[in-house]
Chains A and B, each alone.
Chain A
Amino acid sequence: MNYRYRLIVLAVFAATAMVVSAQPVAKTVTASKAWKQPMTPWGDPDLQGVWPSTSMLQTPMERDPKLGTRAVLNDEEVAQKAARDKQFHQLETGNPKGFVPLAAGWFDYGKANRQASLVVDPPDGRIPALTAEAQAREAARKKHWNEKKDSPDTWLDLTTWDRCITLGPVGSVMPFAYNNGQQIVQGPGYVVFRNEMIHEARVIPLDGGPHASPAIRSWMGDSHGHWEGSTLVVDTTNFNGQIFIGSQGGGFGDSGAVATDQLHLVERFTRIADDTINYEVTINDPNTWTKPWTIALPLRREADYDYIYEYACHEGNIFMHDALAGARADEKKAAEAAAQKGAN
């Protein structure tokens, strides 16, 4: 749970993503004719269960530009990915040079699959350009991050993930190396979307709105839902302007940006099989991106992944103590060395 470890993981993902090259056509998986949507006793489509995002861990947020508008990988590309899987698994056993075993038995790996990017719209699978204002804002944020990440002045110099606050409603769903559990619980008039990553539980009233007063802002926003056929549609606004969206693994990487409080999300949950929910989120923040964009991925049941265990991230945040205390200790050492040099 610190950014250094996270960067190692991201580097491996980036390497995985780069293997991909060109070919075929996109196919969206939809419900088969034979499958029947189960219903709750009170008559809503039943989406309940634990639906981890793990299986999509090998799919990068943004598509390799060489693929253009081709959203689906071919056999050869998938085979290449599978070969890379093997290498990634070795992270755990510590075989590859330069890697030490990290938390053996703890990582999720996903599976090589045909989806070329988590971003499905625009058609090139790339996050739309930032607005001029957002470009300046992001450049300043990244500059500050690069200056402070190894020696933070305060906790505020680190990310909301390092601080164990939240990854926001989108980041909490994005596949990562751990904590990919996503759970849906329904009661009459309500759906709860529960994310394992930093123990989120969004209670979504199925009243279609209206949203809470604009004076009430939050990290996860104000969500209201309704059914369109058997699809759950969730509309979320009232953000606090501090949510990062759009990096691999939901982290704070090169792609993506911090959205402003004008962020508006529309999520769609469609169950297409006993073991699969298609999840889709359209992200619109005219202050940050030049047009709306959409991420889509299947959330799939996994054997033995049927319960969300507690992730007490903040309670065990030794990293934050060590990062800050370490930075102060380094400064003290440097000051003493400088004084020593002066005295000589």
Chain B
Amino acid sequence: MSAHLLRTLSGSFLIILCLGNSPASGQAAAPKIPRMAGGKPDFNGIWESLSTANWDLQDHSAYAGPMWEMGAIAAVPAGQGIVEGGSIPYLPAAAEKRKQNFANRRAADPEAKCYLPGIPRAAYLPYPFQIVQSNRDVLFIYQYATASRQVNMGKAREVGADSWMGMSNGHWDGDALVVDVTGLNGKAWLDRAGDFSSEGLHVVERYTLTDHDHVAYEATMEDPKVFARPWKIHLTLYRRVEKGFQLLEFKCIPFAEELLYGEFRKQTAK
């Protein structure tokens, strides 16, 4: 911490901040956020959402889970949605598809199959992820399924082929890290309730440090095949501050194989 402070002190920005903090200024102090040596906000750390978004992006009462065998463990707790304006503006056919997805979610949710989470879902999975921000690009490493993605901060890269995690090109808008995500294959769901998009999905994410340990996360989804208009989600990412906290491994394929291939298992003699 002290070494880090010393490093940041060399940047003029913090010095200005310190001046701003002096009682003589008589103004409310701007929140102190960590910064890289060059003065850019420093997102390095392990982060996690505490929302119920991965169960259901929209406002919802508590409801039964898809597996009664799991009892209350598989039930969905009530949650306040993170969708701006309350609901996702589905086109009529898409709203129908969402209902089908919900009915089939036990086996149809790509999360159940341990498939890559896509964007924006990766941001609010109920597992931590780590940001490693270098002087060049920014790397996101998610605990779930060993997913990761590079956010290109230099020249924007063109999409080669559609993929689960897409192509992420980032830039700074003041202190906000803005990530433009295209090339998504649209196979990932947006939550466990069957919310979805098509391969035409375009996501713009905005990460803003509000203080040392919190990031305001915002994402705008645009997909004219599925949504009547672009829509937005907002959530908070919390820094995992526990001493010695590490990003551990969750390779979930072995836990999904019975679900995926169980019907082709050799039946042993009765």
Q: Show the binding face of A for B, using Cβ within 8 Å.
A: 40-42, 48, 153-155, 163-166, 183, 185-190, 192, 194, 198-201, 203, 205, 212, 216, 218-220, 222, 307-310, 312, 314-315, 320-321, 324-325, 327-328, 331
Please determine whether B157 and A307 come into contact, CB atoms closer than 8 angstroms.
Answer: yes
Please determine whether A185 and B132 come into contact, CB atoms closer than 8 angstroms.
Answer: yes
B133 interface residue, CB < 8 Å from A?
yes
Given contacts A41-B38, A315-B115, contact A310 B163 (CB under 8 A): yes
B137 interface residue, CB < 8 Å from A?
yes
Please determine whether A320 and B261 come into contact, CB atoms closer than 8 angstroms.
Answer: yes
**Residue interface mask B132-173, A partner, CB < 8 A = 1:** 111111010100001110101000010011011100000000
Stretch at the interface among B22-30, B78-86, B96-104, B248-256: B248-256
User: Which residues of A are found within 8 Å of B44, using beta-carbon distances?
Assistant: 187-190
User: Which residues of A are found within 8 Å of B131, using beta-carbon distances?
Assistant: 187
Q: How far is the CB of A317 from chain B (nearest CB, A)?
A: 8
Can you pick out 14 interface pairs between chain A and chain B where the beta carbons lie within 8 Å of each other?
A153-B265, A166-B146, A166-B251, A186-B134, A187-B131, A187-B139, A192-B132, A203-B132, A218-B248, A218-B251, A307-B152, A312-B115, A321-B260, A327-B264
B130 interface residue, CB < 8 Å from A?
yes
Please determine whether A185 and B137 come into contact, CB atoms closer than 8 angstroms.
Answer: yes
Please determine whether A48 and B134 come into contact, CB atoms closer than 8 angstroms.
Answer: yes
B36 interface residue, CB < 8 Å from A?
yes
B37 interface residue, CB < 8 Å from A?
yes
User: Which residues of B are found within 8 Å of A198, using beta-carbon distances?
Assistant: 146
Given contacts A187-B133, A189-B44, A324-B265, contact A314 B139 (CB under 8 A): no
Partner of B164, one of A222, A315, A327: A315
User: Which residues of B are found within 8 Å of A40, using beta-carbon distances?
Assistant: 134-135
Please determine whether A199 and B146 come into contact, CB atoms closer than 8 angstroms.
Answer: yes
Please determine whether B251 and A212 come into contact, CB atoms closer than 8 angstroms.
Answer: no
B257 interface residue, CB < 8 Å from A?
yes
B7 interface residue, CB < 8 Å from A?
yes
Please determine whether B248 and A216 come into contact, CB atoms closer than 8 angstroms.
Answer: yes
B266 interface residue, CB < 8 Å from A?
yes
Please determine whether A218 and B132 come into contact, CB atoms closer than 8 angstroms.
Answer: no
B116 interface residue, CB < 8 Å from A?
yes
B114 interface residue, CB < 8 Å from A?
yes
Docked Cα-Cα span, A40 to B135, in Å, equals 7
Task: Taking A189-B44, A216-B248 as given, write out 5 further A-B residue pairs in contact, using a Cβ cutoff of 8 Å, ordered by the A residue number.
Answer: A153-B265, A187-B44, A187-B139, A190-B44, A321-B264
User: Which residues of B are found within 8 Å of A312, using beta-carbon distances?
Assistant: 115-116, 163-164
Given contacts A188-B44, A192-B132, A315-B115, contact A163 B253 (CB under 8 A): yes
Q: How many A-B residue pairs have CB under 8 A?
A: 116
Please determine whether A164 and B4 come into contact, CB atoms closer than 8 angstroms.
Answer: no
Chain A residue with the shortest CB-CB distance to B4: A188
Q: How far is the CB of B144 from chain A (nearest CB, A)?
A: 12
Chain B residue with the shortest CB-CB distance to A152: B266
Q: How far is the CB of B168 from chain A (nearest CB, A)?
A: 11
Given contacts A185-B132, A187-B132, A190-B132, contact A203 B247 (CB under 8 A): yes
Chain A residue with the shortest CB-CB distance to B264: A324
Docked Cα-Cα span, A203 to B247, in Å, equals 8
Chain B residue with the shortest CB-CB distance to A307: B157
Partner of A307, one of B150, B165, B187, B266: B150
Docked Cα-Cα span, A218 to B253, in Å, equals 13
Please determine whether B253 and A154 come into contact, CB atoms closer than 8 angstroms.
Answer: no
Please determine whether A328 and B264 come into contact, CB atoms closer than 8 angstroms.
Answer: yes
B210 interface residue, CB < 8 Å from A?
no
Q: How far is the CB of A221 from chain B (nearest CB, A)?
A: 9
Given contacts A200-B146, A309-B160, contact A41 B37 (CB under 8 A): yes
Please determine whether A310 and B165 come into contact, CB atoms closer than 8 angstroms.
Answer: yes
Given contacts A154-B265, A203-B132, contact A308 B251 (CB under 8 A): no
Q: How far is the CB of A4 from chain B (nearest CB, A)?
A: 18
Most B CB within 10 A of own CB, among A164, A190, A321: A190
**Residue interface mask B117-136, A partner, CB < 8 A = 1:** 00000000000001111111
Please determine whether A165 and B157 come into contact, CB atoms closer than 8 angstroms.
Answer: no
Q: How far is the CB of A18 from chain B (nearest CB, A)?
A: 36
Q: How far is the CB of B270 from chain A (nearest CB, A)?
A: 15
Partner of A199, one of B36, B137, B148, B265: B148
Q: How far is the CB of A312 from chain B (nearest CB, A)?
A: 5
- For residues 160 through 200 of chain B, which have their beta carbon under 8 Å from a beta carbon of chain A? 160-161, 163-165, 187
Docked Cα-Cα span, A41 to B131, in Å, equals 18
Please determine whether A310 and B116 come into contact, CB atoms closer than 8 angstroms.
Answer: yes
